[in-house]
A and B are shown apart, each in its own frame.
Chain A
């Protein structure tokens, strides 16, 4: 996990980088921040989920999709949290990149 600073006003954390993700496995958690987007890039055709999770054990909007790439979970009011992505297909999927950004 590494924090990158693509610009003066944005921070991103690529918490899974061109990885292989087994069926049912998840990537993350990312580092904690006031993230505005959680995005996954993976081959189209595989069900993947994205969500955010915070220190009080609450989560925000788990969402699943198989037909969009990239696939993002924008957040507008969610607070300090960590991002997750998960392979909900029955296949091992590669390459998978998951990223949160402010």
Chain B
């Protein structure tokens, strides 16, 4: 076997290994479960199942929201703390539902994205972007229309990015998420300012 052929075999083998690794990365974040890449299936959120993130008692907001939404109230040990306590999450009918101090809702398990996106302002008027992040997301970066950026890293499947205080939710141009071994996910945002809301 000559040197050129050895190099070709090594290159082919390396490419195959990289391909298998990438396929495994996209196929599942853990446990060999067969779930689609980027999907919002509960299997992509380790903290929503981990014993270490279980809450001891059922947060009242979870019971209240579930009742208001016409859903069964989850058991206390089915609720998990995400984002170092920034949010709680539980699984209802195959969907991840979550609540932070700002918003709450239930996700679509078929969503083909590594992050969910809520753009908003707190009751005190501080603009932010937050949401769920699937296992492996490293950084979420927000770009405003004027070019300014703000970033944060998810903790336990939840991220919260604080925006400059003069920004409004409709000033966000895009949201990007990065993690190793995959292209950056980027979602363009084109919201318009509501006419029924006073200016800041």
Contacts and interface: CB of A to CB of B under 8 A. Distances in A.
B93 to A, nearest CB: 12
Interface string A19-57: 000001010000000001101000010010111010001
Interface in B12-33: none
Interface in A75-94: 75-78, 84, 86, 88
Interface residues of A, number: 40
Contacts of B170: 64
B120 interface: yes
A94 to B, nearest CB: 18
Interface residues of B, number: 34
Contacts of B191: 47, 49, 64, 88
Interface of B: 40, 61, 64-65, 68-69, 99, 101-108, 111, 113, 116-123, 125, 169-170, 191-192, 194, 196-198
A83 B65 CA distance: 17
A86 B196 contact: yes
Contact of B194 (A49, A57, A58): A49
B196 A53 contact: yes
Contacts of B103: 50, 63, 65, 71-74
Given A70-B69, A74-B61, A63 B119 contact: yes
Contact of A61 (B102, B107, B194, B198): B102
